[in-house]
Chain A
Amino acid sequence: MKSIIFIYLILIYFVYIISCSLIYMILQDLREKRFNKKVGKLTETFSEEIYNQLLTISHNKRVSFYAINSVRQKLKFKAYQRVFNNTIILLNEEPQNHALVADYMTLFDDYIKKLIKGRNEGSIKNVYTVFLLGQFKVDQDYINKYLMESLKTTSLHLRFNALNSIGQIGNVDCFIEALRYLTETQGYINEKVFIDILDHFGGNLEVLNIELLKCLDDLSIDIQCIIIEHWQNKKNNTVAEELFNKLQGSDVDKEIETSIIKYFNQINYPPAKEALIQRLDSPYWECRALVAKALSNYYSYDTIDKLLISIMDSNWYVRLNSAMTLLDFDLGNMLIYDVLHKKDKYSRDILFYAMFVKNKITYDEYMEKTNGRRRW
């Protein structure tokens, strides 16, 4: 009997807690809806006010103290803050507004300081503050310092937003310092996300590239590969010589080696041709396959001769890439003659397969030439 009463009481307690949680959630939702309604009403007028001030700055004129003070006063209220932040975020969607936003936001130093003050590390609102700092783009020491401190966290979202904001603000020294910090602490940020941050760096990219080259060897292998992929994405040929020298080095890491080969696949750098051809003899099939593909940028008799050998490679991918590259050189019947002359059934098959993939022969012709067999 006692246990039944006990069970009853516990269950009533459970139901009470669940109900309270749901009611709290619903009330918060209603509150948010009311708040958003208020924000919606203010958006039209207050955003207009901000746009007008930005327009004044864009015409190299000074915004009056009275006008700025009016915005500052309004920023004491949460609804106005939301409108202000949303307007700045919206403006930042167009890259040509970035410099203008940075100039404008220097007028709101006190607002930024108030935002930063008293935030708990890793809290949802702190992450939002860090995100906003990137949107405001104000390159000030106290902001950079705050962002660097935010990077030193276990919260992934805070770390990502801190690095992203440092990148958006575009202070090269601060960004390099952040990379060094991440190398030392091995703080995880997804490779693709990291490359994206680099691709959208808000400062001077030329200066960044020079500094990245200077410190490249000090950074972790993962970060080095990310930087090389970023250069590849941006088709940056100013770093080709340095990367070529790195590739020539005796103790180059396999990951970095493959990243550099991928870079030379995108960026044509003739002096790298010999080094790439040599790598068709690499013990790693991944490396041979990548080089066979990259060599499509480096037409020469030496390249063709070497590819006619690598088309007989033991690895299917190396054979395929070699065949595809040879077809890119548009050698006509000479190529088919050379390959058939080798009397190597694998290279012959892969050449016909590559011709089929490149729509140089039809499915039926391919089946006829290979007698319908699969020699993968």
Chain B
Amino acid sequence: MVENIIDYINQFFMYYIFVYAVIFFISTIYAINNLYQSMERKKYRNNLRVKNDANYVPISILVPAYNEEKTVVECISSILSLNYPEYEIVIINDGSSDNTEEVLIEEFNLHKVMRPIRRLVNSKNDRSIYEGGDRIKITLINKENGGKADALNLGINASRYPFFVSLDADSILQKDSLSNIVIPFMEDDRTIAVGGNIKVSNQIVLQNGEVAKVLTPKKWLIIMQMIEYYRVFLTTRVWFNQFNGNLIISGAFGLFKKDAVINVGGYDTQHIGEDMSLVVKMHSFYRKNKLSYRIQYAPNAICWSQVPERISDFKKQRRRWHIGLMQSLFEHKYIFLNTTYGLIGTFSFLYYLIYEMLSCVLDIVGVTFIILAYYTGFINIQFFVTFFVVYIGYSFVISAAAIILESYVFKDILNWRVILKLIFYSLIESLGYRQISSLYRLSALFQYRKRKHEWEKINRQRHHKVES
């Protein structure tokens, strides 16, 4: 009897991993094909071109900042060096207790102004406004602390242009990122949001606000996160983009049609995963109202963002992400297996529920159970080996494919030393890093009620710099 139950549980985990392998096979093959095609299109000039600067879509870049004195100046400097003709920068200082306000005023020579802000979406009031900038207008809005979502809502209210980018204050935008992220809007007028490709910035060297080179990463935690980011941003998101199925646009870098965001009431201030919450809300609103729309992903729109270097910060970040994911899925549970929502209901939501939200349970419990079952003699060596071949070997193949894809698509970014190091580390990523990450996500499951309104700030470092 006990033997049968254990056998069924083991079979269940085996099939779970097998379905996981199938999904990643499809997404990797699709991504390889799609990215290869996009490289070919680039080579043969299959792109939309605008010659006159006046004909570009003007964009507002919103930068919410809370205690970002270390990184915000570099972030704004990188934005100022973009090769895009018309945009403004709106920095929303969300009640910082450090010198964020002072460093910005001093560095960019801002002066106090009085200007009206429309209440298009709910947000706390501004305390003071500063403006400056020569070619590119910079606005700094100081407000009392209300969280990232509230700061972004105030930014939406204050922005002048019909499109806005949400950008983290610790991020660095690649020079052509705006020109690339705006393309899906030009290609399809149904597009309401586009996500950018996030890369790990801890190892980059900046020169005049631009990324000059990527150093070989030394810390294992950074290497593991680099591999993870490549896998997510170059395989899964590319595939989900095909059927309009991405439920998340990273808060670090995304472009939105302002009207569409106002339609859904802006960012949800009660959520700590405001980025996913907004995207799920937009899917829900447009599907419910039977409006044609596209939420897209632009892999060539690159944003460099810092990842945690310390395990304590990593724990905070993963816990916050997981609680944010749960909040979004719980709030929109009516989408689950609901055919009215098309592939969002029948596939995307299911995928995020099982392979994003519950995977931490299955990861920890599954591995523990199979190891115990083997040592107590309930499963034979063949089953045990198959499980780990699939679990580690297959994950290695997928990660290595993502790294090779990365080096193929973005030729100038990684050198061979970094590539080989990453491939080597991807072999051990499945055993160790993945379990640690799952453990922190699992803790979020248990602490959901207690921590669902807590935003735990993680430490940031200054970027490496070379003088021009």
> What residues of chain A have their CB less than 8 Å away from a CB belonging to chain B?
1, 3-4, 7-8, 10-11, 14-15, 17-19, 21-22, 25-26, 28-29, 32, 124-125, 127-128, 131, 156-157, 160-161, 164, 188, 190, 192-193, 195-196, 199-200, 233, 316, 353, 356, 363, 366-367, 374, 376
* Candidates B36, B43, B48, B117; contact of A25 at CB < 8 Å: B36
Chain B residues, Cβ within 8 Å of A160: 48
Selecting from B186-194, B248-256, B367-375, B431-439, the interface stretch reads B186-194
> What residues of chain B have their CB less than 8 Å away from a CB belonging to chain A?
11, 14, 18, 21-22, 25, 28-29, 32-33, 36-37, 40-41, 43-52, 54-57, 111-114, 116-118, 185-189, 382-383, 386, 389-390, 394, 397-398, 401, 404-405, 408
Give the 4 A-B residue pairs with the shortest CB-CB distance, closest first: A376-B116, A128-B44, A190-B186, A14-B25
In the bound complex, CA of A353 to CA of B113 (Å): 10
* Candidates A21, A22, A127, A196; contact of B44 at CB < 8 Å: A127
Q: Do the beta carbons of A192 and B186 come within 8 Å of each other?
A: yes
Q: Do the beta carbons of A367 and B36 come within 8 Å of each other?
A: no
Contacts A7-B390, A18-B32, A124-B40 known; A233 to B25 CB distance under 8 Å? Answer: no
Q: Do the beta carbons of B390 and A11 come within 8 Å of each other?
A: yes
* Candidates A28, A127, A192, A316; contact of B116 at CB < 8 Å: A316
Q: Do the beta carbons of A156 and B187 come within 8 Å of each other?
A: yes
* Candidates A11, A17, A127; contact of B21 at CB < 8 Å: A11
Q: Do the beta carbons of A192 and B55 come within 8 Å of each other?
A: yes
In the bound complex, CA of A157 to CA of B42 (Å): 11
Contacts A22-B404, A199-B55, A376-B116 known; A193 to B25 CB distance under 8 Å? Answer: no
Chain B residues, Cβ within 8 Å of A21: 29, 32-33
In the bound complex, CA of A200 to CA of B52 (Å): 9
* Candidates A29, A157, A367; contact of B48 at CB < 8 Å: A157
Q: Can you report 6 A-B residue pairs in the complex whose CB atoms are below 8 A from each other?
A: A18-B25, A124-B37, A127-B46, A156-B187, A190-B186, A193-B55
Q: Do the beta carbons of A18 and B401 come within 8 Å of each other?
A: yes
Q: Do the beta carbons of A363 and B112 come within 8 Å of each other?
A: yes
Q: Do the beta carbons of A199 and B32 come within 8 Å of each other?
A: no
Chain B residues, Cβ within 8 Å of A233: 52, 54-55
Q: Do the beta carbons of A157 and B114 come within 8 Å of each other?
A: no
**Chain A residue at smallest Cβ distance from B183:** A190
**Chain B residue at smallest Cβ distance from A363:** B112
Chain A residues, Cβ within 8 Å of B398: 18
In the bound complex, CA of A374 to CA of B29 (Å): 58
Q: Do the beta carbons of A22 and B21 come within 8 Å of each other?
A: no
Chain B residues, Cβ within 8 Å of A26: 404, 408
Chain B residues, Cβ within 8 Å of A25: 32, 36, 405, 408
Chain A residues, Cβ within 8 Å of B47: 157
In the bound complex, CA of A7 to CA of B112 (Å): 67
Chain B residues, Cβ within 8 Å of A200: 51-52
* Candidates B25, B56, B116, B401; contact of A22 at CB < 8 Å: B401
In the bound complex, CA of A161 to CA of B46 (Å): 8
Task: List 8 additional A-B contacts (Cβ < 8 Å) besides A18-B25, A127-B46, A376-B118.
Answer: A11-B394, A21-B32, A127-B44, A128-B45, A131-B46, A192-B56, A233-B54, A363-B114
